[in-house]
Every structure is written in structure tokens, then in C-alpha cells.
Amino acid sequence: MVVKINENYLKLKSSYLFVEVARREAEFVEANPDADIIKMGIGDVTKPLVPAVVDAFKSAVDEMADAETFMGYGPEQGYGFLAEAIIENDYKKYGIELDTSEVFISDGAKCDTGNIQEIFGLDNKIAVTDPVYTVYVDTNVMAGRTGEMGDDGMYEGLTYLKCNADNDFVPELPSEPVDIIYLCYPNNPTGTTLTKDQLKVFVDYAKENKVIILFDAAYEAFIHEDNVPHSIYEIEGAREVAIEFKSFSKTAGFTGTRCAYTVVPKELMAYDGEGNVVEVNPLWNRRQTTKFNGVSYPVQKAAEATYSEDGKAQIKEVLDYYMENAKVIRESLTDMGLEVYGGISSPYIWVKTPNDMDSWDFFDILLNEANVIGTPGSGFGPSGEGYLRLTAFNTLENTKEAMERISKLEF
């Protein structure tokens, strides 16, 4: 007998984007040990947790140190106090009513967007936007819903919805039948948004074709445009067709603290093998209660504090700081004659490479000549070729310095 692996893992493209970025950076640093590199590549926050969050975090840790207030296992779905704060603050103000049993608190939108596919059958057809947050693709490859990756950089069996400047980064509806569509808005990596009307097209399509939309709103807190929905449930009928993912990571600097949530409405239905209707919410509940034991109490108290008056004001200051960086990047690159997208309702700026240069060539020029690190667009999917992603997660000084250096380059 030999142990057999899940062969689907062998279909995964071996070189992970950020590994290759790190390899090229390390090679450059070895050759140029004194270079002052400015990293604008990986999408991780740079500002610390705000004081209101830290205070709540610390006092919850103190509760854990006292036998009277100590907390053991909590509910797998998260504590009611946090679910209620989420509903009150993230939904009610947009006219959306949710029940606490529809909110599942977790330790990250990465795990939730990655794990959600396992409650759906392997024969479902999946559509993703291209470029894409690669977790949606790789988790479906691992599960066995795809064939091999072709020379075109696309996995056989997946439907790619192209998003580039030609269609204003608004994906077209799938041209072939699909069952599940992943959408991420504001988008990673392009930083672009969909208006209510544009998202409604997808919701209406989903209702008409019995499709489920997996809507990743991890960057919702960055929205600065009036006609951009903060939740897919602002669109009429979306409760019947969509699951929504949100995270405290980028909103409140929780990338290292870990807290997020997923909304699975009671009205959302799928079908069993005989075509009988099945509620999806109890399936996700079953999955989470079986495989997940909840987020730690202090982290949930810290997350709750993001909704306090002080917490909200302090977080707004941090988000405004990042968005000032985004503005500096957008305006500087535009002044240099480069085409830029995103950065208005997103910390990501998606730059068209000059002279149709290849993404990795542009990456190398920025690294070697400006000592600035971005992320090559091609790493996010074939339609990302010819673009590069920069992030606003940095200091204003570094951001300005990076723009100054790039402005001196000749393309």
C-alpha cells in the first residue's frame, strides 16, 4: 500500500506570485545591499491597531485571566455581541435587515472564500473574473473542479470573465452556463468597482439562471463613490442568490489579528442530486461547527470595538491616510502620462504598463531603476498581463518618494 495524494494539488501552478516577487527582490538586494527599497507590492496594512481596539483587546485578555470572567470555547459561529454589532453597523444603515444566524464570524475572508466551495457539488461550473484574487481559483483546483492549466494560463473547466481597460473593468455575463460566480468588489487586484446597476445585472442573471454569487467585499471600507454598493444585499433579490464575505483585515488593520465574517442568507437555496431545494445556510453552519471552533474571545471583543464611536473615528483616520497615499499614486502616475485605474474606492492602483510592456519587465524596471516593488498583473490571471498593481499601504513619505523616483524613469 502507498499513500496517495490528492492529485488535484499537482495541477496547481508551482510558482506562487509573491514567492517569485520575493525571489527577485532577494536577488536584487544581494547585488545591491545598500539600496533603499520601497515595497508597494503585497496588500498588507502598515498602520497598527487603533487605541480603541487595543483597549478592548487588552481588557478581554484580562477577563481571560480571571476565573470569574474566563471564557472557554465560544459559539463556532461567533459571539452574539459581535454579530449584532456587525448587523447594526455594516447593514442597517444601508437598509439591510439580517438575522444573527445569517452571520458567521471567522478568522479570515481567505479561509471563508477558500472553504465555501466545499459545501457545493464538484460538478458545479465555476466562473471567476480575470484577473482574480487567486484563492478562488486555487481552492477549486484543489477540490477537483478543473482540469490542468493550459498554455494560456487558464485552467480547463473554469470560466474566466475578462476585466481590462477594453471593457472598463466591468465583467461581461458568462457566455456559457455556470453555477457559481465569484465577484470581488472593490476589486483586488484592479481596485475598480461596480456600480449598483452593474452589480444588479449579475444579481438578475443569478436569479434567472439559478446561479449563486460569492461576493467578496473585503475592501468595502474603502468605498468613496456614492453609486457603489457597500453590500450586495443592497440589490433587490440578492438575498436569494448571494453569499457575502467581509473582513476586519483591511478595514481595521486586523491582518495579523484575524477576524472576518460571512453572511449566508436564509433565503439562499441550492439543489440536491434529485433537484430538491436545499437551504444553504444550515450547510455552512454544519461545515463551520464541524471544522472550526470559533475566533478567540479577545479578538472578537477587539473587532466589536471597531464599531464604538472612538473606534470608528480612529479607523476613519487610518483609512483616510491610506486613501491620501492612493491619491498621491494615482495623480503622480497620471501626471507622468501613465494609465491608472482603481485607487478611488480601493487601496490598490492598477497601472497599465508603458508601451505595452510585459508585466514582469515593468516590475524589473521599477525594482532595478527606482527600487520600488509592485506586483506584476500577470500573476493574477492572463488578463492582468500588461498591468502592475501598486498598493497604498505605506507611509506617505515613502509613497511620495516612490513616485518621485518613478517620475525620473524614461519608458
Q: Would you say 363 and 376 are in contact if contact means Cβ atoms under 8 Å apart? A: yes
DSSP 358-401: -HHHHHHHIIIII-EE-EEGGGG-GGGTTEEEEE--S-HHHHHH
**What are the φ and ψ backbone dihedral angles of 204, each rounded to 5 degrees?**
-60, -40
Using CB under 6 A, pick the residue from 188, 285, 296, 345 that binds ligand PLP: 188
Strand order in 387-391's β-sheet? Answer: 340-342, 348-352, 387-391, 375-376
Is residue 375 close enough to count as binding ligand PLP by CB under 6 A? no
Asked if residue 373 binds ligand PLP (CB under 6 A), the reply is no
User: Contact between 133 and ligand PLP (CB under 6 A)?
Assistant: yes
Which residue is at the shortest CB distance from ligand PLP?
Answer: 108
Asked if 209 is part of the footprint of ligand PLP (rule: CB under 6 A), the reply reads no
DSSP symbol at 55: H
**Sole window of 105-113, 262-270, 328-336, 362-370 interacting with ligand PLP (rule: CB under 6 A):** 105-113
Paired sense of beta strands 348-352 and 387-391, if any: antiparallel
The span of 103-111, 138-146, 225-233, 384-392 binding ligand PLP (CB under 6 A) equals 103-111
Q: Of 113 and 345, which CB lies nearer to ligand PLP in the complex structure?
A: 113
Alpha helices, H only, 79-187? 80-86, 109-115, 134-143
Q: Choose which of 179, 216, 220, 304 interacts with ligand PLP (CB under 6 A).
A: 216
Q: How many CB atoms lie within 10 A of CB 179?
A: 18
The span from the CA of 349 to the CA of 130, in Å, is 16
Q: Does 218 bind ligand PLP (CB under 6 A)?
A: yes
Task: Give 140's contacts (C-beta < 8 A, 6+ positions apart).
Answer: 117, 126, 146, 155, 158
Per-residue contact track with ligand PLP, 35 to 74, x per CB under 6 A?
--------x-------------------------------
Q: State in angstroms the smallest separation of the CB of 348 from ligand PLP.
A: 9
Give the residue, chosen from 164, 249, 288, 353, that forms a contact with ligand PLP under the rule CB under 6 A: 249
Identity of the residue, 218 or 349, whose beta carbon is nearer to ligand PLP in the bound complex:
218
- Count of residues touching ligand PLP (by CB under 6 A): 14
Point out the annotated binding site for substrate: 16, 43, 110, 133, 188, 293, 389
